[in-house]
């Protein structure tokens, strides 16, 4: 997952618990994996960051070696944190990968400091862009993952993707726009395209670097609405 800080132009609105409700401001955060190694969580918090999304698993056989230390470090620094799963739809069912994610750090609790898990579904790093699946089969795979996650946590996972991949590999499906918060990857100073019928993104990965480690993400709201979202 490629994951800076830029100007964010947002529509006015009221902060609510609805993950798709309009937001009125932005909050800095970031995402990381073992690629980053040591991360300055306290420095990030002091600079204004309030959340971090941490790689936990990939496919059905990979657990990020730094997930536990990253999670503990983020917790100690006071950051809202959560895990993400890098999907490999060619390596097992959505249900199997959701279960693997949940068994290895991807769960959610309503303690106000835990984000719902995130499904990182994007370009295949090892082969066919869409993992050999048709658009309808990809939509079914994502639904299998999401429904499994929801059945075990009471929350639908966030979905991370790009507008291009989503259009190409799901046929720009609108099936997830009501219940699944969107984490949109688009490296720019403003957002040009929101895919899949989502009225806007919940989080925006706006660059592939962040001063204190990892990639930059922006929550589409203020700190209070971020806390409300985390609590569910």
Active site residues: 31, 120, 122
In 3D, which of 146, 152, 158, 142 has the Cα closest to residue 82?
Answer: 158
Residue 158 structure tokens: 């966030």
Quote the DSSP letter at residue 204: E
Neighbours of 85 (CB within 10 A): 29
3-state secondary structure at position 186:
coil
Give me Rg for the CA atoms of the chain.
16
CA–CA distance, 142 with 159 (Å, rounded to integer): 9
Q: Rounded to 5 degrees, what are φ and ψ at 88?
A: -130, 85
Q: Which residues contact 11 (CB under 8 A, 6 or more apart)?
A: 22, 23, 200
Tokens 């993952």: give the residue.
145
CA distance 112 to 200: 23
Decide: 158 and 118 in contact? Cβ < 8 Å: yes
- Is there a contact between 187 and 208 (Cβ–Cβ < 8 Å)? yes
Cα-Cα-Cα-Cα torsion 208, 60, 75, 118, nearest 10 degrees, comes to: 60
């Amino acid at each position: 997952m490629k994951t800076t800080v830029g100007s964010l132009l947002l529509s006015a609105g009221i902060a609510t618990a609805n993950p798709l409700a309009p937001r009125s401001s932005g909050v800095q955060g970031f995402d990381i994996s073992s690629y980053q190694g040591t991360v300055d969580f306290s420095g990030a918090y002091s600079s204004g960051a309030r959340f971090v999304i941490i790689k936990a698993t990939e496919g059905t056989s990979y657990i990020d070696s730094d997930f536990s230390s990253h999670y503990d470090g983020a917790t100690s620094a006071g950051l809202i944190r959560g895990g993400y799963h890098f999907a490999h739809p060619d390596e097992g069912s959505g249900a199997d990968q959701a279960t693997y994610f949940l068994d290895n750090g991807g769960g959610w609790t309503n303690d106000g400091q835990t984000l719902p898990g995130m499904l990182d579904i994007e370009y295949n790093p090892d082969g066919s862009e869409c993992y050999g699946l048709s658009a309808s089969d990809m939509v079914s795979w994502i639904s299998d993952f999401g429904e499994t996650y929801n059945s075990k946590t009471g929350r639908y996972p966030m979905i991370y993707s790009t507008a291009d991949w989503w259009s190409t590999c799901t046929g720009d499906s609108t099936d997830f726009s009501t219940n699944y918060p969107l984490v949109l990857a688009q490296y720019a100073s403003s957002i040009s395209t929101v895919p899949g019928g989502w009225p806007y993104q919940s989080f925006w990965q706006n660059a592939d670097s962040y001063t204190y480690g990892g990639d930059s993400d922006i929550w589409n709201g203020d700190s209070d609405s971020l806390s409300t979202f985390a609590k569910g």
